[in-house]
Structure formats: structure tokens, C-alpha cells
Amino acid sequence: MNNSHHPDSYHLAENMLRRLDAWVRTNGWAGYDPYDIRGLPWMIWIGKRRKHAPFELLERIVNRGAAVFPGAGRFLFRVKPRVNAKAMGLFARAYTILHRLDTGVDYADRAAECFQWLRRNMSPGYSGAAWGYPFDWASRKLIPQGTPSSVVTCTAGDAFRTAWLLSGDPDALNVCKSVGRFLTKDLNRARNDKGHTCFSYTPVDDFQVHNANLMVAEFLVWLGKTIDDPALLELGASAGYFALDEQNDDGSLDYWSRAQRTVKGQMDHYHTGFEMRALCGLWRHTGDEAFLNGLKRYDAFYRKHYLEPEGDGLIPRFKPGSTQPVDIHSCAEALILNTTLAPHFPQAAEPVAGFLRWIAANMQTTEGWFIYRLWDKGHLPRREVIPYLRWGQAWMMLALALCLKHFAEVRS
């Protein structure tokens, strides 16, 4: 069944978005995040000692308690809501798209407020415009609060790119050029045996993470094409080829590069979506069929492993073959990825309305915001009910804006 032409899909997405927007207007831009407790100094101290059983157990207890009692945990540990640059980039892009649609609501002021915040809150001391997270982030090494990230920076950069594409605002393009300077001058680079480039996650690490590298690659080839800079085009394409070199036989990509991964098969819905959208952009901006072929292989994997029918809806699987847990970030990415691919691949349009119906019925609260996660373990279903702003609300705002754009284009 082709769900993309469901007659009520546009109105459902519009209703979901207006309820979410009303909640965000009341709540403000600050919110909690899944990683804010994990970024507390004492949690990082415990995490560094997790190889020892007592510390590993303590870390698990805190994380489990914060999951079951998310609001109480943050009250207990005195975690305050914060404004997140990634969320502001997502909101800015969403409101810019909505401003150009005939929705009957003027979103220009909302977009302008987000862009103003982004301009005022760039990470200082770098070669160009860049943004990071408002908390310490402990991965394979500690990434200090405010350290600009390739993913956060590209997300904010996408908002300015959208403003440039929809309005021709030269200042927005100037910010995009500044983002390009950060990406090319401040991130570290690795090369594989074919000479292809992999950009680091931040300036303080040497991580080889496919979704981050591909986001940088796609942004650079777009910028290079837009401002007629062959060097940027070549550099971005090289980073894209790095990912193609690493595709698994089934078309998928692991989270880490082969040189740095410790477990094969580490992947999830939203990182898969990031990578596929980047490959689509690389193909469109370069015209290189290698990226198209890589995307087609990845798309075949995605459609086989990430869609779970339920009633007249579709559940976005969190990982290949598993719906547990249903994560709001996966829900948002299911909508963003498929509406992004739909103009180029007819099969991508088919699941959009099915995803939308399931998300509306299971993930949105009566107040308008979206819950974090939904588990169903036999007779013990559990809902992690907290309105994470960056992880859920901002991503869903963009997802719903793109759904409205998609359905409007289908109707026209």
C-alpha cells in the first residue's frame, strides 16, 4: 500500500506540529538531554573506572534510575535545563521551511530568534563558525563542554544553508562559508590506504565516525559547488569515498570505521539515516554515480531491516531486526530520511504516512511534546516520559516540517 497519498496525512502532520510548536513556545528553548546527567563531573569520574565491577554497577544504577525517574533524577542531581546549539539549528531549519509553506501561521519570528541565538553562541577561538554541546561528553575520550562538533556544526550549518536556498540571504551564505573554514581548518583528518579522507568528530579527537565524516563531506561538496570552489568539492568527495570504501557487503555502514570499531554491526536508525541522507546529497551535488550506487545498496538494507508494520502504521525499528526500544530520535529520522529521499526514490514516499500515524498514536503526549522511549518487554511495558528538547522535540519539529513540505508537494 502506498501510504504517501493517505488523504489525512497532511492534516495529521499539521495538527502534530501545531501542538508541538505550542508546547515549545510555552517551554522555551532550554531543556533536558539524555546526556546531561552523564556529563556531570562525578559521573565522568565513575565512567573512567567502569572496568572495575563496583564502579560499573554504580554507573548502571544511576543510568537506570535516571531512565525510570528522569525528572526526579535531574532534580536530585541539580541538573538545569540548557539551550542546545544542535536543537537551535534544527528549530531554525524547521521554522525556515515552515515560513515558506502556506500553513496559515507566520513562523518568521521563530526562525529569526533561533538564528540570532546561533550567531551569538558560536564556539570562540576557531577558524570559522562552529558549535558544540552544553555538557561534557564522555566517549572514547572526554570531549569538554562547548568543544565544537562536526555534527552539531553541520546541523547548524544546514539551517543557514536552508535560509540561503529559500531566501537568497547573503549573510546566511557567509555563515556557511565560515562553517566550511572550521570544517577544513580545525578538524583532524585521517586517510585510508586509498588516500581517501576521514574528518574527526571534534578538533580534540581522532575519531573515525561515518555519520560525522559524511555530514562534513556532504556540506563541503554543496558549499564547493555553490561558491565554485573545486578544492572543497574534491575534499568533500574524498571523505565520501572513505565511506564507500567501508560499506559492508549488505550495503550498511558501522558507526566506527573498520580501523577503530571493536564490535561489528554497531548501527541504529538515526545514524543510518544521517549517512543515507549525506550519500544522497553527495550524489546530487557531484553527479557521481558511485554515491548513487552506494545509496541504493544502503537503501535496500534500510528497507529490509528498519520498517516494522503494526496495524495501519509502521514502527521505526531502533536497530536492524529490533523494535526495542522505540526511540523518538529514530521516529524523527524515519520521517526526515524518507521525505528527503522521496523526490528521487519513489519507494521512500511509501512509508511516510505509516510512520506518521504510528508516531502520532504512540509517542505524542496530550500536551503536544513527544516521549523519549517506549519499551515493550512482555508484560512489563515501559515509557520513558520526559520531553528531551534536543533529542526529541527539535528533531520532530524538523521531521513534521519536512512532512508538511512533502505532502504539499504530493498534492500539488
Query: Do 323 and 384 sit in the same domain of this protein?
Result: yes
Query: Do 17 and 70 sit in the same domain of this protein?
Result: no
Confirm whether 111 is domain-assigned.
no
Confirm whether 140 is domain-assigned.
no
Confirm whether 298 is domain-assigned.
no
pLDDT of the residue at 6: 55
Average pLDDT rounded to a whole number, residues 354-376: 94
Final residue before a domain boundary, out of 50, 78, 106: 78
Give pLDDT tens digits for 151-202: 999 999 999 999 999 999 999 999 999 999 999 999 999 999 999 999 999 9
| Whole-model pTM over 0.85 | yes
- Residue 380: count other Cβ atoms within 10 Å of its Cβ: 7
Q: Which helix (H) or strand (E) holds 316?
A: strand 313-316
Confirm whether 163 is domain-assigned.
no
Residue 4 confidence (pLDDT) above 50: no
For the chain, state the CA radius of gyration: 20
pLDDT of the residue at 340: 98
Query: Do 70 and 21 sit in the same domain of this protein?
Result: no
166 is written with which cell numbers?
529559500
136 is written with which cell numbers?
561534557
Please give the residue range of the domain that contains residue 69. 37-78
Confirm whether 374 is domain-assigned.
yes
Q: Please, which residues have CB within 8 angstroms of residue 48's CB and are 6 or more apart in sequence?
A: 138
Confirm whether 23 is domain-assigned.
yes
Contact 61, 55 (CB under 8 A): no
Q: Report the sign of the C-alpha dihedral through residues 320, 322, 323, 327, in that order.
A: negative
Tell me which amino acid residue 67 is.
Answer: A
- Residue 82: count other Cβ atoms within 10 Å of its Cβ: 18
Query: Do 348 and 376 sit in the same domain of this protein?
Result: yes
The CA distances from residue 249 to 156, 186, 196, 260, 290, in Å, are: 33, 33, 20, 19, 15
3-state secondary structure 284-306: HHHCCHHHHHHHHHHHHHHHHHC
Give pLDDT tens digits for 54-90: 766 766 777 666 766 777 777 777 888 999 999 999 9
Query: Do 74 and 11 sit in the same domain of this protein?
Result: no
Look up cell 546561533; give the residue: 118
Residue 2 confidence (pLDDT) above 90: no
Confirm whether 325 is domain-assigned.
yes
Look up cell 526511540; give the residue: 327
Looking at the 3D structure of the chain, how many domains does it have?
2
Confirm whether 299 is domain-assigned.
no
Average pLDDT rounded to a whole number, residues 285-310: 97
Maximum alpha-carbon separation in the chain:
61
